[in-house]
Amino acid sequence: MTYETLYEFFKWCSICNVVLLAWWAIWIMAAPNFVFKMHSKWFEMPREQFNITHYKGMLYFKIVVIVFFVIPWFVLWKMGGF
């Protein structure tokens, strides 16, 4: 596997995951009642727990994306001179 292939892989993984994270955050900020009603059909939890769960989920997802996709993409970019 070449540096160019790895660079493209991490680039597209980073882009897709950041878009997914942004989509999640936009839904939580723009339509919190809709999202809560939709999820409360499947999982019983109070509103405070729902908010905490989503914010922690976004936090953990952001950390994983940065550590496992964005940083390797940046390192390959610096190494390969892309």
The string of DSSP letters for the chain reads: --HHHHHHHHHHHHHHHHHHHHHHHHHHHH-HHHHHHHHHTTS---HHHHHHHHHHHHHHHHHHHIIIIIHHHHHHHHHHT-
This prediction's pTM:
0.88
Q: How far apart are CA 58 and CA 47, in angstroms?
A: 17
pLDDT, block means (10 residues), the chain with 82 residues: 93 98 98 95 94 97 98 94 68
